[in-house]
């Protein structure tokens, strides 16, 4: 069904493309503010906050809490994420509220006594959960950069949870496709099944326990989640299930405000997320290398363009595997990786034919399992912009609702490199830089990004998609800057992906013509399968108006006023 939906959307995309070459598409246009997220309800809640006079940070926080209710697939209280902020007074900053390994975690916790890697321990059950960061991150953003009180931004989410949300068919389908998984856990079955049966379109999903947890946060701030009732429920459920998270882990959790990664690409400044995300470094490395090439509009997805992009991506992802991890635990060579000088080295290594990744390491298949993260972009009339990506890792995280607390827990521990040379669920390899240590944050690919033009926000972008996030965000930026697409064309355009290992070019349906594929194969590239790549949410900003679009691959909404 989803495949069919996506297929029809792509037909629509192609139609839009074929009728709008060189012309503007039809994105949502607004003059005062815009919120683009994966949920219509959450985008509308964000816009209401802006209309009440809140700034982009207030709206982003309200949208974040609303997503925890209206988009349980990835919106969350039990996960983590990153927020990139540009303030009208030109300050740029980022908030890292990535989950942390519990204090009782240890390097080989997912290996058996013979050193054999047991991936299910890091992906399923409470053993897979890191200490959640979302609540702390959203509240930190609100307290430092917002203008409203907690109860004002959290109230709409409480109402949604209390009164229930009517399931639109794709969300109903997404929840119901996991019915069997939810049935494994009584606390999850109680909420995400209808007395054991799958949810259907137009059913109402009521989340009373979640409403109560939100209410406690509204009344007590971070302590409403990290101490007392909710913290006890998390720790008790974790203990009962053999998990590692304790009340002390929760009480100790802190988000970190970090300097962004800055890039400069063809006249635009790029403000993006640094470690423990790999995304900001990766897109900066790629853009530095790509700056050595000039493309015309007709080069878009040509074999020369794809060849260049893929060769750069192979090198960027190889560096990711070797050098990237939590900067608080490992000396990540950020300056070197993001330098223009190193980009020259990358460019020099690119030949006319493909350099096989297998020369370095054997290929590893990327599993087709469904996963979810979610991105939202917000701008206001004051000149502030916020780009946020949050995740539980897999769709619905580890599928475990904390008994009595009403929210799902993440399975983010799988983003660590549990055993060097062994890929995680996204086929990503890692090294010592991303090994498990107590209190350490697992490496991420989430890449919330703000592109500035003459110091002012120009494009706010980001996407889910596991390891593909980096290539998706990169292509949205290239589409805007190099190919001068409008926001709709940018987000609708089919994408490609390469992550060094496995040595394959993945691509979307209709993304590459037969000629281009044949040309790429002649140059030594190996084509992978066709798959859906990302689900970006973007806003393009002009002098006196905004244009925004949700990705047709999802079912979100651009709300503006
Ligand atoms: O942080 C990361 O890179 C992953 N946990 C993100 C997972 C994800 O995007 C799944 N969604 N499609």
SS3 category, 83: strand
Q: Is the pLDDT of residue 1 over 80?
A: no
Q: Could you give phi then psi for residue 494, rounded to 5 degrees? A: -60, 150
Q: Could you give phi then psi for residue 277, rounded to 5 degrees? A: -90, 145
**Cα of 89 to ligand 1 centre, how many Å?**
32
Tell me what pLDDT residue 295 has. 98
Q: 426 versus 88: which is more confidently predicted?
A: 88
Question: Active-site residue 373, yes or no?
Answer: yes
Q: Which of 426, 497, 534, 556 to mutate to test the pocket of ligand 1 (most atoms within 8 A of CB)?
A: 426
3-state secondary structure 216-254: HHHHHCCHHHHCHHHHHHHHHHHHHCCCCCCHHHHHHCC
Binding-site residues, ligand 1, Cβ < 6 A:
371-373, 391, 393, 412, 415, 444-446, 464-466, 469
Provide mean pLDDT across the span 227-251: 98
Residues 6+ apart with CB under 8 A from 21: none
Residue pLDDT, tens place only, 252-271: 999 999 999 999 999 999 99
What percent of the chain has pLDDT above 90?
89
Q: Which atom of ligand 1 is nearest to the CA of 468?
A: 9
Tell me what pLDDT residue 8 has. 43
Helices 228-240, 208-220: axis angle to 10 degrees equals 130
Distance from the first to the final alpha carbon of the chain: 33
Cα four-point dihedral sign 267, 268, 271, 276: negative
Provide mean pLDDT across the span 112-124: 94
Let me know: does 478 contact 504? Beta carbons within 8 Å: no
Q: How many H helices and E strands in the chain?
A: 20, 19
Residues 6+ apart with CB under 8 A from 310: 354, 496, 498, 505, 525
What's the rounded Cα separation, in Å, for the pair 130 and 365? 26
**Cα of 389 to ligand 1 centre, how many Å?**
9
Let me know: does 374 contact 319? Beta carbons within 8 Å: no
Tell me what pLDDT residue 20 has. 31
Tell me what pLDDT residue 4 has. 37
SS3 category, 373: strand
Q: What distance lies between CA 202 and its chain's CA centroid?
A: 27
Give the active site residue among 127, 193, 246, 373. Answer: 373
Kindly report the protein residue whose alpha carbon is nearest to atom 9 of ligand 1.
466
Tell me what pLDDT residue 453 has. 98
Q: Is the pLDDT of residue 360 over 70?
A: no
Q: Which two tokens stand for residue 484?
A: 């001068």
Q: Is the pLDDT of residue 237 over 80?
A: yes
Beta bridge partners, 461, equal 449
Side-chain-side CA neighbours of 559 within 13 Å: the count stands at 23
Residue pLDDT, tens place only, 497-543: 999 999 999 999 999 999 999 999 999 999 999 999 999 999 999 99
Kindly report the protein residue whose alpha carbon is nearest to atom 2 of ligand 1.
444
Provide mean pLDDT across the span 364-384: 76
């Amino acid at each position: 069904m989803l495949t069919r939906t996506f297929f029809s959307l792509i037909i629509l995309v192609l139609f839009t493309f074929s009728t709008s070459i060189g012309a503007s598409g039809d994105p949502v246009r607004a003059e005062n503010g815009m919120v683009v997220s994966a949920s219509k309800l959450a985008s509308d809640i964000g816009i209401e906050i802006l209309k009440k006079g809140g700034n982009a940070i207030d709206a982003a926080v309200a949208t974040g809490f609303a997503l925890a209710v209206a988009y349980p697939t990835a919106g969350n209280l039990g996960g983590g994420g990153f927020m990139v902020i540009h303030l009208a007074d030109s300050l740029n900053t980022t908030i890292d509220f990535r989950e942390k390994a519990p204090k009782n975690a240890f390097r080989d916790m997912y290996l058996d006594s013979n050193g054999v890697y047991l991936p299910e321990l890091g992906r399923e059950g409470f053993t897979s959960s890191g200490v959640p960061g979302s609540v702390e991150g959203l509240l930190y953003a609100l307290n430092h950069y917002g203008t409203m009180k907690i109860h004002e931004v959290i109230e709409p989410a409480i109402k949604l949870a209390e009164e229930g949300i009517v399931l639109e068919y794709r969300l109903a389908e997404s929840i119901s496709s996991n019915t069997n998984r939810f049935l494994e856990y009584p606390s999850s079955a109680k909420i995400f099944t209808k007395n054991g049966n799958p949810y259907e379109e137009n059913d109402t999903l009521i989340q009373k326990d979640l409403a109560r947890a939100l209410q406690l946060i509204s009344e007590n701030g971070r302590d409403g989640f990290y101490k007392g009732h909710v913290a006890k429920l998390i720790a008790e459920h974790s203990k009962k299930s053999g998990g590692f998270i304790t009340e002390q882990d929760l009480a100790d959790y802190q988000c970190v405000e970090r300097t962004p990664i800055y890039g400069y690409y063809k006249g635009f400044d790029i403000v993006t997320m640094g470690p423990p995300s790999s995304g900001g470094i990766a897109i900066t490395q790629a853009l530095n290398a790509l700056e050595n090439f000039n493309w015309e509009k007709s080069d878009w997805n040509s074999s020369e363009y794809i060849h260049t992009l893929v060769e750069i991506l192979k090198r960027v992802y190889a560096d990711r595997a070797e050098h990237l991890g939590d900067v608080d635990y490992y000396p990540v060579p950020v300056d070197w990786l993001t330098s223009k000088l190193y980009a020259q080295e990358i460019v020099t290594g690119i030949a006319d034919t493909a350099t096989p990744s297998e020369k370095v390491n054997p290929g590893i298949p990327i599993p087709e399992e469904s996963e979810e993260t979610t991105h939202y972009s917000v701008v206001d009339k004051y000149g502030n912009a916020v780009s946020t990506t949050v995740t539980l890792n897999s769709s619905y995280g580890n599928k475990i609702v904390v008994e009595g607390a009403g929210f799902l827990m993440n399975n983010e521990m799988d983003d660590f490199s549990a055993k060097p040379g062994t890929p995680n669920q996204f086929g990503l390899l890692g090294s010592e830089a991303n090994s498990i240590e107590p209190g350490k944050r697992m490496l991420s690919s989430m890449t919330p990004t703000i592109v500035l033009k003459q110091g002012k926000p120009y494009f706010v972008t980001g996407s889910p998609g596991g390891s593909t996030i980096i290539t998706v965000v990169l292509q949205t930026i290239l589409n805007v800057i190099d190919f001068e697409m409008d926001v709709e064309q940018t987000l609708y355009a089919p994408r490609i992906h390469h992550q060094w290992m496995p040595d394959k070019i993945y691509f979307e349906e209709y993304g590459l013509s037969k000629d281009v594929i044949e040309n790429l194969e002649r140059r030594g590239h190996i084509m992978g399968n066709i798959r859906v790549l990302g689900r970006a949410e973007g806003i393009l900003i002009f002098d006196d108006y905004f244009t925004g679009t949700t990705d047709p691959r999802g079912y979100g909404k651009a709300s503006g006023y």
